[in-house]
Chain A
């Protein structure tokens, strides 16, 4: 158990629908990062939150949004789903201060299948 909890583990939904993925970071970590992993694209950074505030954006589609709540858990919302959104979605968290060797800890992911 990495300490980063992602739910659900699997999600099957139809095109055009909306889903919410949830992430609870490791205890004490303030940063949450969302990544998308598909077979041909590797691990693509989507968005980062730090202590409730958006800190960085990567290749996140406008149909996708995220937020981090006061208890530091984060949700990734995917709407108007398309077949191409099928992928593994990972959440990671990192230590609150620079200079540590914790690194980024990843959850076990949510496998999204859009049919």
Chain B
């Protein structure tokens, strides 16, 4: 089945810093989503982005499907950005395969 790798596994930032999270996948995909799991365990859907570039406030994402990777950019990070960021993909079947996540800690 399709494999998903996220990097880095852990990231510690000072408030105001920028960061880039990466998601590599092993096969072509028809769905790619980025999620933020907050400290209360809720999964927040950030982007549906099987290809192309999208922006939403301080967050943006780019997926280069032909090279099998996606990037999530966080600018001017805030303490509320802390949590775990998951990339999830599906290709050929409907089930999403999740990466192991990037744990982000933003210090004040």
- The finding on whether chains A and B are genuine partners in a shared complex, rather than unrelated, reads no
Q: Chain B residues in contact with chain A, CB under 8 A?
A: none
